[in-house]
Amino acid sequence: MANKILSAVIIGLDAELVEIEATLGGGDFGQISIVGLPDTAVSEAKERVRSAILNSGWEFPKRKITVNLAPADLKKSGPIYDLPITVSILTLKYKFNFDFSKCLIAGELSLSGEVRKIKGALLMAIKARAQGLEAIFLPHENIAEASLVKGLKIFPVIDLNQLIKHFSGQKITEVIIRQSPEIKNENLVNLSDIKGQEKAKRALEIAVAGGHNILLSGPPGSGKTMLAKAAASILPPLNDHEKLEISRIYSASANILGRQTTCSLPITQRPFRAPHHSASASALIGGGSKCRPGEISLAHLGVLFMDEFPEFSRYALESLRQPLEEGKIIISRAQGNLDLPARFMLIAAMNPCPCGFLGLKEKDCACSLEKIKKYRQKISGPILDRIDLYVEVTSLSPMELENNSSTDNLAITKKRINRARERQLARLADFSPPLNAVIPSEQIKNLCQCAGSALELLKIAAKNLNFSNRAYFKILKIARTIADLDNSELVEECHLAEALQYRTQL
């Protein structure tokens, strides 16, 4: 009787255990039949398994073999079961003094027995630890991502022979590196490389510090895209918990991101996603038959940059309403609802009109009123209401560009942001993430305490500028972030006055 070998199936951002069991049938056919809802890739494992066993110098049982993947009602897909199926078949022929019930095995096999990279290795490692298993055997190329999980022995497998020898007593060295080196992005635009634009840079600093959404509007070539990209240079570093949370999403998305991306797991830097405006609503929010995470989930705990904002389809833009409010997206599937995290900071950029020159003294706008109205209507009121800071970016004159050297010191800006984030963590430890942007309105009074004069100012502004309820609370939250950057306990009048500057809708 064969041993039961444990492996896993990926469902959304989680993994479920799969038990693999092989038995010998009558006759001497040497055939393999796989049952338990396998897809084509799993069914084709038969050929890879047989060839890998023979080419690695092991004997193949000369009877009919039935392999069962339990639970039978969960669809199994992909080549990840090659390795556990092989081990299960070999236990029919060979005796191993090894306890298979305490480990999880996954990996694709080549015909010669080499083990290839798989998708979802991190999710499997998380599941293995949660189930109290002791070890996981994974393709060596997946080890970096799995090593984010602590409290689990992780064994890198290079080929079938090495794994079988391990079960026979010749140990594979366990991986003890728990942290991969930080990857430096050479192509990063630094905020300090941008000349002038002090107001826009300050607004980006506030947005990054408190996780607020920001819209940059201005004529062509004024530097909106450059400013948005430079936000990546001031994003605070990730802690271990955040690295795991983000890497989980990328591990589950390996199939849509291509094999290359799996190499760079775990994720060690905050995501900065910039989907093109032709992206469909489903590419943006996720879903599809495989319940893949969309751009908003890939930007979780980082930035979603939507350049040429009005050029996105209206449907795609409207689909952002729920995630922008709740920090997650709920995707309905036949088997039930799936929650995907999507707590991102939105940076949107747009021109003020189709030709881009509306409001400029130097250049005439060529758009009719009707055209401008149609262009702006592409972004609905509810979406605009979800933006926290509005910034008008103006072009610098050649003289200004020549003479204006940036006064900003990137290190000082980063230090201010990191300190503001620490202050938020101390105050908002129960929130995930602990950022001013996520404070619910019912707790704003407690968590954004204002000096008396600041409250007076807010009341006057709200009355004169006709704010929505959401806008009222947003201003308080932005003012709280400005106070945090200023290292101040209370929201003072000056913090609120600065916050109000960024609420003048364009």
Ligand X SMILES: Nc1ncnc2c1ncn2[C@@H]1O[C@H](COP(=O)(O)OP(=O)(O)OP(=O)(O)O)[C@@H](O)[C@H]1O
Asked if residue 311 binds Mg ion (CB under 5 A), the reply is no
354 lies in the site for ligand X, by CB under 6 A: no
Per CB under 5 A, which region of 140-148, 224-232, 252-260, 272-280 contacts Mg ion?
Answer: 224-232
Q: Which of 38, 78, 196, 302 binds ligand X (CB under 6 A)?
A: 196
How far apart are the C-alpha atoms of 121 and 113, rounded to whole Å?
Answer: 19
Residue 52 vs 367, nearer CB to ligand X: 367
Cβ neighbours of 355 (radius 10 Å): 17
Per-residue binding string, ligand X, 39-78, x by CB under 6 A, is: ----------------------------------------
Distance, in Å, from the CA atom of 66 to the CA atom of 68, rounded to the nearest integer, reads 7
Report the length, in residues, of the chain.
506
CB distance 30 to 63 below 8 Å: yes
β-bridge mates for residue 390, sequence order: 215
43 is a contact residue toward Mg ion (CB under 5 A)? no
Stretch that binds ligand X, among 8-16, 54-62, 218-226, 496-504 (CB under 6 A): 218-226
Q: How far is the CB of 308 from ligand X (least distance, A)?
A: 7
Query: Cβ 355 to Mg ion, closest distance in Å?
Result: 14
CB 23 within 8 A of CB 65: yes
Q: How far is Cα 115 from Cα 150, in angstroms, rounded to an integer? A: 24
Binding positions for ligand X, 476-505, rule CB under 6 A: none
Q: Looking at 180, 190, 225, 449, which residue binds Mg ion (CB under 5 A)?
A: 225
How many residues bind Mg ion (CB under 5 A)? The answer is: 1
The answer to the question of residue 192 lying near ligand X (CB under 6 A) is no
Burial track 108-134 (b if 16+ CB lie within 10 A, e otherwise): bbeeebbbbbbbbbbbbbbbbbeeebe
Under 8 Å between Cβ of 103 and 133: yes
To Mg ion, the closest distance from the beta carbon of 224 in angstroms equals: 5
Report DSSP state, residue 13. Answer: T
Q: Which of 204, 212, 485, 491 is nearest to 344 (CA)?
A: 212
Which residue's C-beta sits nearest to Mg ion?
225
Placement of tokens 């972030």 in the chain: 481
Single out the segment in contact with Mg ion by CB under 5 A; choices: 204-212, 222-230, 388-396, 480-488.
Answer: 222-230
225 near ligand X (CB under 6 A): yes
- The reply on whether position 274 binds Mg ion by CB under 5 A is no
Token pair 């444990």 is found at 6
Binding site for Mg ion (CB under 5 A): 225
Binding site for ligand X (CB under 6 A): 194-197, 218, 220-226, 351, 356, 396
